[in-house]
Amino acid sequence: MDKATKTQMSIVSFIVGLILLFIPYLKNFDTVFPGISQYFSLMFYLGLVLVVVGYYLK
């Protein structure tokens, strides 16, 4: 994998990971669909993994 692709994948995975880390904090708002609240823990841990992968690819 060339350096430009590796950098782009690192940035994308880091940003998506951060978004997934902060999605569970939306459960305090009334506008969030009640059906997705059961997946908040999965989103949190997947976000942690993506942040670590993004940092590793840096």
CA-based nearest residue to 20, from 31, 34, 53: 53
- pLDDT tens-place string over residues 19-50: 988 887 777 766 666 777 778 888 889 999 99
21-41 as b/e, with b when 16 or more CB fall inside 10 Å? bebbeeeeeeeeeeeeeeebe
pTM (2 decimals)? 0.79
pLDDT of 38: 78
pLDDT of 6-17, one tens digit each? 899 999 999 999
